[in-house]
Structure formats: structure tokens, C-alpha cells
Structure 1
Amino acid sequence: MRPFEPGTGSAGPRRTSDGDIASRAADLEARYGDATPQEILRIALDEFDADDIAAVTSFGAESTVWLHMLSEIEPSTPVLFIDTGKHFPATHRYRETLTQMLGLKDVRLIKPDPEDLKREDPVGMLFSQDADRCCHLRKTLPLAGALQPFSAWMNGRKRHQSATRARMPAFEVDGPRLKVNPLASWGPQDIRAYFERFDLPRHPLVAEGYPSIGCMPCTSRIKPGEDERAGRWRGRDKTECGIHLAP
């Protein structure tokens, strides 16, 4: 386990125009958008050099599924975890368990800039006043810095999770990078079957009524029949932290 150090790694992603990125994403989606998650992961890893693509994960409720797939294909892939300073202790323990169990060789902890927090969130309560700004400082900005060396990144979002993700492709444009969503087409039954097939451990908070797990102050249990992300930023007009919103 090693923290992200700004300025390390390559000089940055290969520079291509927005049109090049859009064309590449559209071509990959047309050819492989309906492929299995494992095939999508292999295609993405074949498209880019080993140090040019990263996995980004929250080590949340269903992260084990695609991280297990990734570990069987290329366990040396850089795995970025945004350590916001507000995660549940159970999430950190789960991250440590999965890292060891899956043999992930390059898990990096990405942290917010201490000066940003000192200036804008000195007592750590910004989430209660401006959740968007809190996410920006603790998630969006740190991830943007950590992704600088890469031309593409992968994540575990799925279409069934919320209305805002319902039309998500497997390959899409994210600013100057390609973003890959290998589990886009999978529903709850697919996830459940994969957990059972490989006897994978669940995040301990799932059994306590948290099907979607983010930072502790902004995550609550859901009620029967609610969208699985209903417990995120409950009572606020907010559905995403910001890292998956188009630049």
C-alpha cells in the first residue's frame, strides 16, 4: 500500500483531441459495449500500456466483484482509492482485506490537499453546510490530480443503480481520458451470482442496510423499496459526488 505522491509517474496522458477521444470511445462502445465485464476489462487493458490505465474504486458494497475480475486479469494495475478522511472504519478494514485476498499489487491511497482542508474545512464539518464543496475538496480534486499520469480509468458503476446512470455506456469520454464501466449492464442478480460463485466477502455494512456506501456523514440506511443509492446524501438535491459528472 502506498500513498499517491503528486508529481510521480509519467509526464501525463498521451495528448489527443476531444474528437480523438470521442471517436475512440464510440468505436470501442460500438464493437464491445455488449461484451461481458471480463472481456471489457481485457479490452481496456489491451488498449493501453500498463502504466497508462488505472482502476478507481471506493471499496464499497459491490467493489469486490470487478476487483476480483481485475485481479485475475492483471493484479498489477494501479488501483486508486480516494481516502476522504470521512470513510467508515469498516470500509478501511474491507479495503485491507480485499487488497490482501485478491493480491492487488498497486493500491494507492489518494488524499485531499491538507492546505485545501485547512483553508475551507478546518473543523471537518463542511459536509453539513455545502456537501458539493466537501465532495469537490475531498474527492474530485484529489482524483483529478491522481489521474494525471493516465489516459484511461475504470470504475464499478452500473446502470441499475440510479436513474442518472440508466443510459451509461461501457466506454465513454471523461475530459481528456477514456472512462471504462465494465459492469454497466449488470443488475443485482448478476452481482449476487458472482459473489456466490466465488464466495467473495461482502462489505460488512451491507448486512446493516447500506447497499451503497460512501462517506460516513453522508450515507444512511435505506428503506424497503428505495433506490439503492437513496441513502446517499439523504434529504439533499444531490445524487453524485462529482467524480462521475462530465467536466
Structure 2
Amino acid sequence: MTSPDHSFRLDLTPTPSAFHRWWRIDNNYGPGFWYATFNGDTPAEIVAGLTDALIRPEPEEPAPTVADVLTGRGWEHTTSETGSQKLTSPDAIVQVELYASPSLGVMGWEIEAAHHHGEHGPEQRLWRAHLDSATPAHLLAAVAEAISNPAPVLRARFKINDSAHLTQGVEFAIGAEVVGAHKQRLAEARRHRPKPHLTTTAMAAPPIPSTTSPARPAR
């Protein structure tokens, strides 16, 4: 998909493994190039956190940092001597890291969800995302907001795994709620859709051919 002004591009490339990078969003190799990727198992609400922010007009006020958003919701925040940052969710499932190298500089944000984060890295990964270091601040903040949002999400009965980290709410009829939420999202997206510039060109009407044959009698 390409935005109407060709500034942004979204690619979806499914593979046999959902752990591979399925989603890629970038600014179509424009000035200040940036990109973000999400693997196939990333919850839709997190991918939508970025795409929804991409549709809306860029805010005039400075966006909060990733650390500001996450620490405001109780995430643990540590930094290293090189400038790297690590933020860990209260349940220790998700880690958000900003890698910084003395020789290579800032390398972007890595987000990984796993059942356990051990000394040698994540174990039993759930999903993964990467956001380039040049990703605009308001988009980074939107993803951080989506990751840490405590609101429940809608899932079909047989789309829920048996993870001990999930809390399942009271079951209710969600058909109308899902359709209503989808229509509301579409309406919000269309509200921010840029209106096309209409141009009209005056065209001379073709000349009416002259008729020399006599009129036929009415029937």
C-alpha cells in the first residue's frame, strides 16, 4: 500500500514462519529515511498503533519519548555507559531496547516479547519488532502507547492460547462490538484522508453537424 501523496509505503509479505518479518512500513525512501518492521505474530493492535499515527496529522507539540511513555506505566528503565536503554514491562514479558554503539552510533529500537528473558536472551519468543533510529518521535510514542495500553483486546474464542500471562475476561457476544469498532476505525481513517485536488479543463463542444435532408413526417 502507498499513501495518496506517495510519502509512505506499507508492505505485507507473509512467509511460512510467522516469526519472520511480515510487516514493513517506511517513508518510501524520502528525506530522513526511516523504517519499522513487525513479525507475523505481532498483535494487530501494536502494528495499528503505528499505522493509525501515520494517518493522523503530525502533532504540533513535541511527542513524549519512549521511556516517558513506558516508565509512566510502571516499566523498569535502565541505561548503559554507551547510551543504550532497556525498558522491561512489569510482567517481564516485553523488553524494549535502544541499542547504541560507540562506533556505529544509535542503531534503533528492538522490541521482543517472550515467555522468559534470560541471561543469554529471550526464550520462547512470542513476537518481535524493530523501529529504525530515525523513526519520527510521535510514531515511536504511538507504538510505546500501544505496547503498554492496559485496555483489553477482542479475540475470538479459539484464538486465545493457554499462556499463564493472559487474563481472560467475561465472555460476551462480540460480533456487533467487533463490527462497530471496525467501522469506527474506518471512519476515523477516512476523516484524515487528504482530499484530492480537482482540476477541470474547459473543452470546446464538438460542432453540431449540419442536416440538409428534409424532415421526416411525424408518425
TM-score scaled to structure 1, two decimals? Answer: 0.21
Which structure is larger by alpha-carbon Rg, 1 or 2? 2
With CA pairs under 8 Å and 6+ residues apart, which has the higher RCO, 1 or 2?
A: 1
More strand by share: 2
Relative to the length of structure 2, the TM-score reads 0.23
